[in-house]
């Protein structure tokens, strides 16, 4: 796939978000199935940074001087790049102006005050992978940061917010087993380390990971329901809006970049392991993924090594439904009509509302409440079965 073929897959006349995958980490966590490479050299980090910047510049040239609507640097652990390399990347992203929201992930052990100036000038949001304040849980998950490193990173993030005014988001993992006090873990971080946003994920065992091979006993579906309901209720009672299955925000602090993902809006992904949903000017929808390893990515010409899969209207509809029903922004019925070829509001909604518990109409959107979020995947299956 040529650079022009890649870029022509996107409609640059419309808002575009940018995702950058940083495939480096200090050591790979036992539960992680994302593409990442531990034990990297400075030479590899330098070469990756230079290659990535050349690709950002090529994309920038198609933006005709407009900034990205949102940008998100994820991983892996972008903190592994160090402040100087990360500054080179964020400067390139902001060449046409700073995105309205610019996030980076970072693990607690990597944050230092050397990163702070980047938030005043470029970045607007820090998403920190904390996962737990329970030392036993950190060991169970195979985290490379122990509890002292985790608390040190959290304290630095609090200082960063005070100095820069950036939004703070913390990631937590729950439903680890009967031995773990799930609610205490969530309430502990909420009380000790105030944040604008929390992502609380139920642990899933991914094939091929060390944790999956250990075959731990996790809560059954009924117990998981009770755990999640308790956490959701606690967070909503403490000022957090539950706006997606695993995501909670103080009023006005939703992650705009991820909302675009759940709205099934286009974003462009760069870096080994990144993927993009592309919506061309011709109305065609495609899924583009980068199949390079780190070494292959560094060695290849810019914007090459992509796999492009053209989606049928049915496949695009499936992705739209799966995303929309897990987000309190709701499923856009106009787009559903476009992909499914039916009058959704006249035909679908009266029928489907009889069977979907926890969903209601808000204007042109089918919107879940908390009960709907708990059964979002099953509801998507029911809706798609009805359509097809």
- Please check whether residues 225 and 327 belong to one and the same domain: no
Residues 244 and 349 in one domain: no
Distance in angstroms (rounded) separating the CA atoms of residues 177 and 198: 21
- Closest residue by Cα to residue 308 from 349, 282, 345, 275: 275
Range from 34-38, 137-141, 225-229, 369-373 carrying the lowest mean pLDDT: 34-38
Among 221, 238, 260, identify where a domain stops.
260
235 and 333 within one domain? no
d(CA 328, CA 263): 10
- Report CA torsion sign: 182, 187, 189, 192: negative
**Is residue 230 pLDDT above 80, yes or no?**
yes
Percent of the chain at pLDDT > 70 equals 98
Reported as a single tens digit per residue, the pLDDT across 82-98 is 999 999 999 999 999 99
Q: Give the pLDDT band of residue 25 (cuts 50, 70, 90).
A: very high
Mean pLDDT of the chain: 94
pLDDT by residue (tens digit) across 175-190? Answer: 999 999 999 999 999 9
| pLDDT bucket at 18, cuts 50 / 70 / 90 | very high
Output the domain CATH number for residue 115: 3.80.30.20
Report how far residue 300's alpha carbon sits from residue 4's, in angstroms, rounded to the nearest whole number: 15
pLDDT confidence of residue 347: 61
Q: Does residue 353 register a pLDDT over 90?
A: no
Do residues 128 and 21 share a domain? yes
pLDDT digits (tens, 9 = 90+) for 38-56: 878 999 999 999 999 999 9
pTM to 2 decimal places? 0.95
The Cα 89–Cα 80 span in angstroms is 13
What is the pLDDT at residue 342? 72
């Amino acid at each position: 796939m040529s650079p022009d073929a890649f870029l022509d897959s996107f409609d640059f006349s419309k808002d575009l978000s940018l995702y950058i995958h940083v495939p480096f980490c200090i050591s790979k966590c036992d539960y992680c199935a994302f593409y990442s490479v531990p034990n990297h050299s400075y030479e590899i980090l330098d070469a990756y940074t230079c290659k990535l910047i050349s690709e950002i510049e090529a994309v920038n040239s198609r933006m005709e001087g407009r900034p990205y609507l949102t940008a998100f640097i994820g991983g892996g652990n972008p903190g592994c790049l160090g402040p100087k390399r990360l500054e080179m990347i964020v400067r390139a992203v902001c060449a046409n102006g700073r995105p309205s929201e610019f996030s980076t992930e970072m693990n607690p052990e990597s944050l230092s005050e050397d990163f702070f100036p980047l938030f005043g000038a470029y970045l607007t949001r820090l998403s920190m992978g904390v996962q737990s304040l329970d030392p036993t849980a950190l060991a169970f998950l195979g985290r490379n940061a122990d509890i002292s490193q985790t608390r040190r990173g959290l304290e630095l993030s609090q200082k960063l917010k005070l100095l820069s005014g950036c939004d703070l988001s913390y990631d937590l993992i729950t439903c680890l087993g009967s031995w773990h006090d799930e609610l205490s873990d969530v309430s502990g971080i909420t009380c000790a380390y105030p944040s604008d946003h929390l992502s609380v994920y139920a642990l899933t065992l991914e094939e091929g990971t060390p944790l999956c091979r250990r075959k731990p006993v996790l809560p059954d579906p009924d117990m998981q329901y009770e755990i999640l309901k308790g956490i959701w209720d606690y967070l909503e009672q403490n000022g957090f809006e539950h706006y997606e299955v695993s995501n909670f925000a103080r009023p006005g602090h939703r992650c705009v970049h991820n909302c675009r993902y759940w709205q099934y809006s286009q974003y462009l992904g760069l870096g080994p392991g990144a993927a993009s949903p592309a919506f061309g000017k011709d109305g065609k929808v495609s899924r583009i993924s980068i199949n390079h390893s780190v070494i292959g990515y560094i060695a290849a010409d810019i914007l090459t090594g992509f796999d492009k899969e053209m989606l049928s209207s049915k496949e695009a509809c499936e992705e739209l439904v799966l995303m929309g029903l897990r987000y309190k922004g709701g499923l856009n019925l106009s787009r559903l009509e476009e992909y499914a070829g039916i009058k959704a509001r006249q035909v679908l909604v009266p029928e489907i509302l009889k069977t979907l518990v926890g969903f209601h109409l808000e204007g042109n959107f089918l919107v879940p409440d908390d009960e709907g979020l708990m059964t979002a995947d099953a509801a998507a299956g029911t809706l798609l079965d009805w359509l097809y």
